[in-house]
Every structure is written in C-alpha cells, then in structure tokens.
Amino acid sequence: MTQTVPPRRAQCPDPPTVAENITHLTPYRPGKPIEEVERELGLTDIVKLASNENNLGPSPKAIEAMQRAAAQMHLYPEATAPRLREALARHLGVDEKMLVFGNGSDDIIHLLGVTFLEPGDEVIQAEPSFVRYKAAAILNNAPCHSLPLDSGWTHDLEAMAERINAHTRLIFLCNPNNPTGTIVSRAALERFLDRVPERAIVVLDEAYFEYAQGPDFPDGSRYVQEGRNVVVLRTFSKIYGLAGLRIGYGIMRPEIAAWLERTREPFNVSGMAQAAALAALADTEHVERTLAMNAAGKQAFYAGFEALGLPYTPTHANFVWVDVRRDCKAVFEALLRQGVITRTGDIFGAPTHLRVTIGRPEENARFLTALRAALD
C-alpha cells in the first residue's frame, strides 16, 4: 500500500534587506477616497473636501481633448511635450528650454533630489509643509532640517536663512504653503534669496499659484529669469482640475533643466495628460469660474468658522486651515459619518486642526452644517 507523503511546506525566506535610509520613509497618506467611504460606511452621497482638488471639475475642453487623444493610447506620447511646451512658454513668458514636465510636480521634486543631492548635502524645509520634500532628502541620504513655521503659520525665513551652511543644497519653500494657505511676501522672499549662497537651489513650490495672485505675492518665474538658482514648481492638478491625469512642471534656468532631462524617466507624461493640459491652459473662462467659486467659498468658510468661534488662518489657496479646538481625528470621524471627507491636522503635527478644501457652494454649506453637528 502506497503511503502518501504530505508535501513539505515551503519555508519563507527572510525578508529582503533594504537600504537603511528607506527605513526612515513614511508612506504618503492621501485624502480618504470617496469609494472607500462608500464601502466602509454604506453611504452614497459623499462630499470630498480633503485633497485640494477643483470640485468644479476639469474644463469641458480638456475632457474633449483627452477623449480625442485616447484613440492614440497605443502609441508612446511625445517625450518632450512640444505642443504643450510651446503654449505654456508663451503663456508664462519664458523660454521653452526653462520647462521640465513631470508626472505631477511631485515628480520634479523627486528629480531634483536624484539630480543634485550627493553624500554630505543637506536640505532645508518648513514644518508643517508638503511631505514630499523630506522624502526627496531621505531617498538620497541627505539630512533634512525642518524648521517650524512662525506663530502666524508662515515660513520663518529668518530662521531658515540662519540654518543655511556650506552643505545646504536644496531649500524648499511652499508658497502658498500646504497645509496652512499662508504666503511668503515678495519683499521677504527677495531678502531671503539675497542671503542664499550660489551652491544652494531654492525650490519655490507654487502648486496653488493661480489662486494666490495679489500685490504681495511673488511670481517665482521672475527670479528664474534673473538667472538665480531658483526652481519653480507648478501643476495642472489644482486650478486646472487635472489631478487624476498627473501632470506638473518646473520652471528653471536652462542649465538646470538640462540636467533634469537626463534623470527624467522617458515618456513620464501621458499623451492624454498633455492634450488635456493644453486645452485646459487655453480655457481661461473655466479658470475664472473656479476663482470666483473659490473666493465666494472662502468667505462662506470664514463666516461659518467665526460663528462657531473657531480660529482659522486666512488663505491664499483653495483650502482653509481651521482650529476645531479639540481632537481633530474625532471631528474628522464625526464629519465622515455625515458623508463629509476632510483632512486631519495630526499628520502635520497639529492635532486640533483640519484642512478643508473649498468646494462648490452646496458642498461648503453641507460641510458647515456637518461641522456644527460634530461640535455639539
């Protein structure tokens, strides 16, 4: 009689070792998706005010352009985005050689780290600010010095300037700052730039540039054209409503751009993204509608927070940083159960704050109603 011998269980190998610097990375925590809330809570009417998207949606012209481009999805896109490059350079008043396109402006942040950080280099940023700056430093084994914002939730440029040394290579300034919506003024920025040594590159992240136009807000491209070591980051994800297509760009001196073109992944921006961005750029009417919606929503939020006695930070972007004066995670959960998604401040080191995207009028009203209920 043949005896069946059970198969030997395969022994799991030891987990692979990773570079020590990778152990210091924290996975990015995006805003909670609508679909996830629907699955978890069984809700069907969800308002998402968590990720600073344009809730008016993309330009209809961008949708049409993307649909046309979809017929060519079997072909690789044009690697240097020539049509978009020409139109964007004309729109910005810069040389085409000053532009580098990325899979979102996050891609440019990554490229800057890969291209310019060597052993011994250091990075400076503010805290709280956009988390991907620190990731660029960690990925390239560079110490990242995070300096706290001042009492008005604004970059402390004096402290940042004093932290600069001979090893400083990249300095990140988010303007307007995410998550606080505050800005560095033109005069303050120019005083700071005058103190930055030639070897350091100042990266001005202007993802919310179009929302922040005003007499005190500096246009970073001006400093690039002056020949300074300044890199400006902008995106089609915010006011242009193309977050799902992932397309951003950097404005920089041609010599800097040439180095990033060496490290950039080929075909890093899809053909559909290029086509949609080109159409969105031309639809100025859609941008104006978005700005009007944002301005009205901002005032609605301010009035609502004042009525509730909640301190908030006046914003230059499409979101508001508000102190709910209690555990933000508890308030977040209470809002979530009412079908409203926001962003908790604890991930930014502010355990009583929420960051709330300004949406359409009906979405803003629903949030304020839900907030009142959550605070009762």
Which pLDDT score, from 0 to 100, does residue 27 have? 77
DSSP letter at 278 equals H
**Average pLDDT of the chain to the nearest whole number:** 95
Q: Which residue type sits at 335? A: L
Helix (H) or strand (E) holding 127: strand 122-127
Q: Considering only CA atoms, which of 284, 309, 252 is closest in space to residue 101?
A: 252
Q: Considering only CA atoms, which of 41, 94, 5 is closest in space to residue 336?
A: 41
**How big is the CA angle at 95 (ends 94 and 98), to the nearest 5 degrees?**
95
Alpha helices in the chain (DSSP H): 34-41, 60-70, 82-92, 105-116, 132-139, 157-163, 186-193, 221-225, 254-263, 271-282, 284-308, 328-337, 361-375
With contact defined as beta carbons under 8 Å apart, do 135 and 25 qualify? Answer: yes
All CATH 3.40.640.10 domain ranges of the chain, comma separated, are 60-282
With contact defined as beta carbons under 8 Å apart, do 83 and 135 qualify? Answer: no
pLDDT per residue as tens digits for the range 143-193: 999 999 999 999 999 999 999 999 999 999 999 999 999 999 999 999 999
With contact defined as beta carbons under 8 Å apart, do 82 and 278 qualify? Answer: no
Of 3.40.50.2300, 3.40.640.10, 3.40.50.970, 3.40.50.300, the CATH number of 60-282 is 3.40.640.10
Residue 14 has pLDDT above 80, yes or no: no
DSSP letter at 235 equals E
The band of 6, judged by pLDDT with boundaries at 50, 70 and 90, is: low
pLDDT per residue as tens digits for the range 217-255: 999 999 999 999 999 999 999 999 999 999 999 999 999
Domain 29-56+285-375 homologous superfamily, CATH: Aspartate Aminotransferase, domain 1 (3.90.1150.10)
Share of the chain above pLDDT 70, in %: 97
pLDDT per residue as tens digits for the range 71-109: 999 999 999 999 999 999 999 999 999 999 999 999 999
Write down the pTM of the prediction: 0.93
Which pLDDT score, from 0 to 100, does residue 20 have? 84
Residue 5 has pLDDT above 60, yes or no: yes
Q: Is the peptide bond before 351 cis (omega within 30 degrees of 0)?
A: no
Residue 361 has pLDDT above 70, yes or no: yes
All CATH 3.90.1150.10 domain ranges of the chain, comma separated, are 29-56+285-375
The Cα–Cα gap between 376 and 212 comes to: 34
Residue 97 has, within 13 A of its CA and on its CB side, a CA count of: 7
The band of 3, judged by pLDDT with boundaries at 50, 70 and 90, is: low
Return the bridge partners of 101, or none. Answer: 249
Least confident among 12-21, 42-51, 112-121, 346-355: 12-21
